[in-house]
Structure 1
Amino acid sequence: MAPEEEINKLKAELERHNKLYYQDDNPEISDAEYDALYQRFKDLEAKQNKKEKLSPTDKVGAKPARNFEKHDHIKPMLSLNNVFNEEEFEKFEERVLKRVGNQEIIYSIEPKFDGIGVSLTYEKGKLSKAVTRGDGITGEVITENVKTIKHIPLTLKDYPEVIEIRGEVFFRLKHFKKINEEIESKNGKKFLSPRNAAAGTLRNLDIEVVASRPLDVFFYGLGGHSSDFTKRNQRDFLNFLKENNFSTNEFTNFSNKDGVKNYVDKILSSREDLDYEIDGAVVKVDDFSKQEKLGFVSKAPRWAVAWKFPATEKVSKVKKVLFSVGRTGVITPFATIEPVLIAGANISNISLHNMDELKRLEIMDNDSVLVRRAGDVIPQLVKVNKELRSGDETPVKIPDKCPSCESELFLDGPFLKCGAGMKCKKQLFGFFEHFVSRKAMNIEGLGYKINKTLINLGYMKSAADLFRLKKYESELKSLEGFGEKSIENLFQSIESSREPSLAMFIYSLGIPEVGETTASSLARYFKTFSNFKNTNLDELLQMDNIGDIVAQKIINFLSTDPIGIDDLVNELSIKDFIVTEDSHLDNKKIVITGTFEEYSREELKDIIKDKGGIPSSSVSSKTNYLICGENPGSKLRKAEEFGIELVKEENLKEFLKI
C-alpha cells in the first residue's frame, strides 16, 4: 500500500475509534492497539514530511506560552442561582412567568457536572479558540490543551459565521483513580478530587502532561454567535451538537413544570451509578427567544437554575485523631477514617476544626462516625455514633508540643497554637504554599516537592529569601528533579512577580482572616502599602466591612511581623491602587433595604463591589447612600435622620452605571 493511501486509511480509522470510544462509549480495540495505530500514523507523517490537514496528531499542539493569553467571551459565561427543593423551583417559575406572560414553559433538564467550564469558538466552521470560564467575562486561552481531548471537533457542518459552544471538562472516576495512583507511585501530591484534577490538568503548562491524561467533556451550552445561527431552542441546539460529533449527555430531557421534579429525582437516583461526578441538575427554559427576553441579573441568567442535590452521607470508622500544623501556627485536629466513597470522592481524612469542636463531638479513636460531603466538596463529620461503641475505643491524645518543631503549645481561644512562627518548618512551608499560589504572588514552578526541598536545604527561611534564590543556581542544578529549563522558568516566574498589585500583595502575606475580598477592600481603602503598614486599630475600624476581630488580627500581624515584611518589600515594587472609571463608587459605603423587582440583595451587593463600593448591613453616620426598594423598614427612617442620600429603584441603573 502506498504511504499516502495508508495515511488516509489510518486517519479515517483513528477518527472512527475516537468516536467509538469517546462518544459511543463502545470501543472495539484496546488502548494499546489504539496507541499502536496512532504511532504508525505519526511515523508515516514524519517520513512524508507533510502534515495532514486536520490531522489526528493536531490534537496535541505546540507548547503554550508560560502565561496563558487572556480572551473576552463574546457572551459572558454566567454562573447559576441555586434552588434546593420544589417550592424554590416554583418561585423561580413564578419569576419566569411574570416576565414572559402566563403560558406553559418547556424546560431542558440535565445533570450539573462537577468539572471545569470551557468555551469553544468556531469561526467559519473551524475551531479558533478554547477559553476557560475565568471571571465569566474574560478567560484564559487553552486551545492547545483542549485539542488533546481526542473527541473535540476541529470543524463544523452547516456552520454559522461565528459561534461559542460551552461545555464541562472532567475526568471519569476510573481515570481519576488511575492518575492519582500514578502520582502516588512517584511520591507526588495527589489531587483532592476529579474536579481538582481536571482544573490542574487543563491549565498545565506542559502539553505532554495534558495529552497523557484522558480528559473528557460534555457539551450543553450556546454562547455568543452570529445572526446566521437559526436554532430556536435548546432541543434544536443539542441536535446541532450531535450532528457535529460533540459529546453530549444522555440524561438530558425536556418537560413542563410538572415533570421537572420527577426528572431531577431520576438524575439524583442515578448519581451513585455514574462514572463521573454531578452535584445537581440544571433546569433551563428551552426556548431561546424566551431566554433572550428573560435576560440575566448580575452574573446569573434569569432563565436557568441549578437544582442542587442534598449532601450524601455514609458511616465509617475512625482510625485515629491526629493533629496538623497550619501556616499560622494553628494546630488542627483531624480524623483519619476508613476510606468511604461519597459523591465520587474517596474520603479518608476529615478536619475537626478546633479544640471546642473536638470537645463537642466527644470523639474517640476507633469510633463509628457519620460522614458527609458538605456541598459535595468539603468532608464533614456529622456525628459520633456513640451507641455503637464496643469498648475498643480509646481517648484522643492531645499534644502539648508542636508535632513539627517540638515547641510548647498554648491555647488561643478554641485554637491550639505553636508560637514558633517561621522557625517551625510546617508553618514556613504553609506560608510559602500560600505566598506563591495563583491568587497570591502567582509564582509558577514552586510545587509541593520543590518548596519542601528548598526549605529543608535552608535556602528559604523567610519570604524575601525566595527573591534571592538565584545565588543558589549552581547548587540547584546539581539536585535531582531540578532541570536546567525548569530552574530557568522558575527564576523567570520569580522575576515577573516582583511588581504585584497592592491587593494581591496584601492577600499573599497570609494575614489570618484576610482573604481575597478583604485584601481587595484594604487595597482600595489605603491605596499604598505604606499607608496600610502604618495603620492603627481605630483607622481599620472605620471601615464598615472590617470588624473588631479582623482588625485586631491585622494589627497583631503587622506588629509581630512573622515574615519579615520590610525585608520582603525591599525586593519588590508594589503597585499602588489606582481608581478606574469603572470604580465610580470607590470606597462609598452603601446600605440596601427593601425588596426589588429586578435584583436580589445579593446581586446588588456584587454589583456594588464591582463598582468599588462597600456594601454595609447597617446605617450609620458614615453611610454614603441608601438603596431603597419596596417595604424599606427602619433603615429608611435612620437614613433620613442622618441626611443620607437615597437611591430609589427607578434610578438604580443610572446610579450603578449598568
Structure 2
Amino acid sequence: MAIDTRKEHEKFKRTEKRQRELVPLAKELSELTEKIRFHRYQYDDLDDPIISDAEFDALKRRAQEIEDSLVLNEEDLFSVRQIVGAPSSKSLARVLHEVRMMSLDNAFADEEVAEFVARVRRFLALPEETQVVFTAEDKIDGLSCSLRYEKGVLVRAATRGDGQVGEDVTANVAHISDIPQRLSPLPLAGGAGGGPVPDVFEIRGEVYMSKQDFTALNAAQESSGGKLFANPRNAAAGSLRQKDASVTKARPLRFLAHGWGAASAVPGATQMEVMRAIESWGLPVSPDLVLCRSVEEMLQQYRSIQAARAGLGYEIDGVVYKVDRLDWQGRLGFVAKAPRWAIAHKFPAERAETTLERIDIQVGRTGKLTPVGRLAPVLVGGVTVTNVTLHNRDEIARLGVRPGDRVVVQRAGDVIPQVVENLTREEDRPAYAFPDHCPECDSEAVAEEGEVDVRCTGGLVCPAQRTERLKHFVSRAALDIDGLGEKTIDEFFALGWLESPADIFRLKQRRAEIVGREGWQDKSVDNLLASIEARRSPDAARLLFGLGIRHVGAVTARDLMKRFVRLETLREIVEAAGSSHLGEGDHLQGGGGAPGLSPLHHPADGPPPRSGEDALAELTAIDGVGPAVVEALHDFFHEPHNVAVWEDLLSEVSPPDFVVETTASAVSGKTVVFTGKLETMSRDEAKAQAERLGAKAAGTVSAKTDLVVAGPGAGSKLKQAAALGIEVIDEAAWAEIVRAAG
C-alpha cells in the first residue's frame, strides 16, 4: 500500500511542534516526580518529613495535572500515580505483602467528591436509577499496619513499607492492647456476630498515639533528655519500628482497623459487613463509620467529622469514602497504586501567626540552594513547629519575606508548614538578598535559563554535593549498602577516603585504618565490607539511579534499562543522540515517541543505531523519557569528569544485564486494542483487566497490535485489524481469557 509522504510529513511536523510545546512541562514533571519520591522516603521510611502534607499534596496534584496534559491513555501514566510509601528499612526484617498495601487518591473540594462518584458510575456503566452506596469514616493519621491471622491466631504484623515490602513488627504489636493475639467472634449490638474467622485473614489499619499520650510521652522524653517527637504520627511510627520490642512496650500505642488484605474467605458481600465482622472479632473500628447513599450524605458526614475533629482523642486529616459493594470494588480495581473504589477527602490546612527569625540556605546533592525559614516556635493544630521551607528564590520574592517579618503559616497534617502570608511586608526594610555564591564552597550560584532553582556550579568540588551524592548512591532505592550511613560517609569523606562512588569499593584496602576508630570493631568493619562486596554485581537500574543524574529517578532508570539492558548500550545511544541533535547552544527536540520515527532497536539485534535521529527516536519512544531526561543524560556523558567517575565505577563493579519479570498469562507482553461497544463492562474496566494480565491496552491498531477485542459497532479499527491480519475476538472470548488467568 502506497504511503502519502506529504500527509506523513505534515503529521510529523504537527507532532514535533506539539513536542516542543511540551518540553517545559516534561522537565517540570521530571523534577516533581523526583521531589515526590524523596518526600515519600522522608515521610514513610525515615519518619522525618520535611514538608507539610499540604505541600506534598500540592506537588502530587501539579504532577498529575501535567501527566494528564502529556498523555492520552491511562496506560501511559508512569510516575506520580505509581508512587506509594517508601522502601522498608534495614533495621527490621522485611516482609513481602501477599496483597499490595495501597495508597489513596485525594480530593480537596466538594466538586472532586462528586466527580469521584460520577467516575465510579461511568466505569461500572451503571444505569441512572442504580444507587451506589459508600462507606465513610475518619482518616486517622498514623502508621499503616497489616495483621495476618491464621486459624484466628496472629502470626505476623508488618508495616506498609513501599506497598510490596514492609517491616516485620510482630513482636512489637504484641504490646498494643487493641490488637488481640487470637480472634474470637463476639456478638455485636442486637446479637449479630461476625461468624467464624477464616483460616487466613489480614486485617489492615493504623497504629497511632492519642493526643494525650503524645503530650505525656514528650514530657517524659524532655525530662530524661531524650528525643522530642514532632507530632503523634511520628511518635507512633518511631515507637512501632523499634528493634527492641521493650521500647514499644513502654509507649502507649493504639490501633484502628479500616480494611483487609489477603483472605481465604471474606465474611460479607459489602465493605460494611466485613468491617462489622472485624469489629466482632475484637478489633476496634472507627466509631464514625457510616453508610452514605448520595454525594450529599457523604459531604454531610465529612462536615460532621470536621466539626468534631478538635475534640477527638487522636489526629485525623480527612474522611475516606469507599464503594460498599465488594463485587463492584473488584470490577473497579486499581489504577497505578491506588484503588478506583476509594478516595480520601482531605481537610483544609490549619493556620497560625509567628515570626520568621532567620533564613538558612541548604545545599542538596544536585547543587540546589534551598532556603529554610527558622520560626519562633508556634502551635499549629496541636503541633509546635519551628521550621518552614521557602522553596526557592522566587518564592521568597513573591512573599517578600525577610528575617524579622510576622508571617502566617499553615499545616495540613503533621510536619513543616508553609508560609501563606507576610503580615509586615510593607515595613521599610531591605529585601532579602538571595546568595549568589554557594555557602559551602563559595562557587558561583546561578539559575539556568527557564528555571527558578539556584544551583551551585561547583559540582563535585562542592563538599555538600559530593557527600550528598555519595549518600544518595548508597541509599536504599539505589545500591542499598547497609552500614554505610550518613555519619560514616561524612567521617570517611573528611578523612579523604571517599571522593567518588568507586572509592566505596576500595574501602577494603583501608580495613586496618578503620578498625579501632571510635565505634568500629573487627565485626562491624567486616559487616560493612561484606555489604559493600555484596554490591559488586549491582542491579543496573539501581546503579544508574544512584549516579544522581538530574531527571533520572528510580522509575525512569528502570524504564531505560528495560529498553537497553546494558549500561554501555545506554551510553552509546545517548552519545549518538546528542552528537546529532546538540550543537552549540542547541537543545534536544522530540519526545513521546512521535509518529514517523524509526522502529525501536533491540540490544539482541546487534550494535545500537549510530544515526542521531534513530538514537533520539529510541530514547523518546520510552514512556516517561522526554527531552528533559535526554538532555540530562547527554549533559552527564558530555562532561569529562562524569565520564571518569562512570568508568572508574565500572572498573570496580559488574552489573549484569537487566532482566524484567513478567506476569504469566495468555496475553502477557502483548498489545491489546478494545473497539466497539462492550456490553458487560466499560472500556476503562476492560483496559484495567488487560493491564492486570501483563498486557498493554493501546488506543489504536497498528502492526504492533497482537489482539483486538471487538464489540458491536466496531468500525475502522476492526477493518484495520483485518487488513493487518491481527487476531480478533469478541467480548465473551476476552472474558474467558480473564477467567483462565484467575
Q: TM-score range by the shorter chain?
A: 0.7 to 0.9
| Aligned: 1:505 with 2:543 | yes
Residue 635 of structure 2 aligns to which amino acid in structure 1? N
Q: Deviations over 1:451-480 (max 9, x none)?
A: 333323333222122223334444444333
- 1:68-79 residue pairs with structure 2 within 5 A? 68-73=93-98, 75-79=99-103
Structure 2: which 5+ residue stretches go unaligned?
A: 1-88, 186-196, 579-611
CA distance in 2, matches of 1:308, 1:346: 21
CA distance in 2, matches of 1:66, 1:655: 43
Structure 1: which 5+ residue stretches go unaligned?
A: 1-63
Q: Deviations over 1:202-237 (max 9, x none)?
A: 55555555555544321121333334x645655554
CA distance in 1, matches of 2:728, 2:220: 59
- 1:266-415 residue pairs with structure 2 within 5 A? 266-274=304-312, 276-286=314-324, 296-298=333-335, 299-342=337-380, 346-373=384-411, 379-385=417-423, 389-391=426-428, 393-413=429-449, 414-415=452-453
Residue aligned with 1:89, SS: helix
CA distance in 1, matches of 2:533, 2:231: 32
Partner of 2:108: 84
Task: State the Cα distance separating 1:609 from its structure 2 match.
Answer: 11
- 1:541-560 residue pairs with structure 2 within 5 A? 542=618, 543-544=620-621, 545-560=624-639
CA distance in 1, matches of 2:566, 2:341: 43
CA distance in 2, matches of 1:115, 1:572: 41
CA distance in 1, matches of 2:414, 2:444: 37
Residue 398 of structure 1 aligns to which amino acid in structure 2? F
Aligned 8 A contact 2:107 2:346 in 1: yes
- 1:412-431 residue pairs with structure 2 within 5 A? 412-413=448-449, 414-431=452-469
Partner of 1:112: 139
| Aligned: 1:528 with 2:566 | yes
Aligned 8 A contact 1:326 1:430 in 2: yes
CA distance in 2, matches of 1:331, 1:350: 15
Residue aligned with 2:432, SS: coil
Alpha-carbon distance change, 495 to 144 in structure 1, aligned in 2, over 3 angstroms: farther
Task: State the Cα distance separating 1:302 from its structure 2 match.
Answer: 4.8
Alpha-carbon distance change, 351 to 100 in structure 1, aligned in 2, over 3 angstroms: same
Residue 509 of structure 1 aligns to which amino acid in structure 2? L
RMSD: 4.8
Q: Deviations over 1:419-470 (max 9, x none)?
A: 3323322112211232222212222333343333332333322212222333
Partner of 2:657: 576
Partner of 1:143: 170
Instruction: Indicate the percent of aligned positions where both proteins have the same amino acid.
Output: 34
Alpha-carbon distance change, 470 to 249 in structure 1, aligned in 2, over 3 angstroms: farther
Residue 336 of structure 1 aligns to which amino acid in structure 2? R
Aligned 8 A contact 2:561 2:658 in 1: yes
Residue aligned with 2:499, SS: coil
Aligned 8 A contact 1:405 1:425 in 2: yes
Task: State the Cα distance separating 1:165 from its structure 2 match.
Answer: 0.9
Task: State the Cα distance separating 1:184 from its structure 2 match.
Answer: 9.6
Residue aligned with 2:480, SS: coil
Task: State the Cα distance separating 1:105 from its structure 2 match.
Answer: 5.3
| Aligned: 1:447 with 2:485 | yes
Task: State the Cα distance separating 1:397 from its structure 2 match.
Answer: 3.2
Higher-RCO chain (CA-CA 8 Å, sequence separation at least 6): 2
Deviation larger for 556-565 or 94-103: 94-103
Aligned 8 A contact 1:591 1:623 in 2: no
Task: State the Cα distance separating 1:127 from its structure 2 match.
Answer: 0.8
Task: State the Cα distance separating 1:119 from its structure 2 match.
Answer: 1.7
CA distance in 2, matches of 1:501, 1:266: 50
Aligned 8 A contact 1:411 1:417 in 2: yes
Aligned 8 A contact 2:662 2:668 in 1: no
CA distance in 1, matches of 2:654, 2:629: 26
Partner of 1:251: 288
Work out which of the residue numbers 195, 213, 224 in structure 1 matches 2:262. Answer: 224
Aligned 8 A contact 2:352 2:378 in 1: yes
TM-score normalised by structure 1 residue count: 0.73
Task: State the Cα distance separating 1:107 from its structure 2 match.
Answer: 3.7
CA distance in 2, matches of 1:409, 1:272: 45
Alpha-carbon distance change, 410 to 89 in structure 1, aligned in 2, over 3 angstroms: closer
Task: State the Cα distance separating 1:325 from its structure 2 match.
Answer: 0.8
Alpha-carbon distance change, 475 to 550 in structure 1, aligned in 2, over 3 angstroms: same
Task: State the Cα distance separating 1:303 from its structure 2 match.
Answer: 4.1
Residue 649 of structure 2 aligns to which amino acid in structure 1? L
Residue aligned with 1:365, SS: coil
Aligned 8 A contact 1:327 1:431 in 2: yes
TM-score normalised by structure 2 residue count: 0.65
CA distance in 2, matches of 1:554, 1:628: 39
Residue 250 of structure 1 aligns to which amino acid in structure 2? P
Aligned residues: 582
Work out which of the residue numbers 149, 154, 157 in structure 1 matches 2:184. Answer: 157
Task: State the Cα distance separating 1:589 from its structure 2 match.
Answer: 10
CA distance in 2, matches of 1:115, 1:594: 46
Alpha-carbon distance change, 164 to 472 in structure 1, aligned in 2, over 3 angstroms: same
Alpha-carbon distance change, 252 to 230 in structure 1, aligned in 2, over 3 angstroms: closer
Alpha-carbon distance change, 402 to 652 in structure 1, aligned in 2, over 3 angstroms: farther
Alpha-carbon distance change, 116 to 592 in structure 1, aligned in 2, over 3 angstroms: farther
Alpha-carbon distance change, 362 to 230 in structure 1, aligned in 2, over 3 angstroms: closer
Task: State the Cα distance separating 1:186 from its structure 2 match.
Answer: 11
Alpha-carbon distance change, 276 to 600 in structure 1, aligned in 2, over 3 angstroms: farther
CA distance in 2, matches of 1:592, 1:323: 53
Task: State the Cα distance separating 1:269 from its structure 2 match.
Answer: 2.6
Deviation larger for 327-336 or 240-249: 240-249
Residue aligned with 1:269, SS: helix
Aligned 8 A contact 1:311 1:376 in 2: no
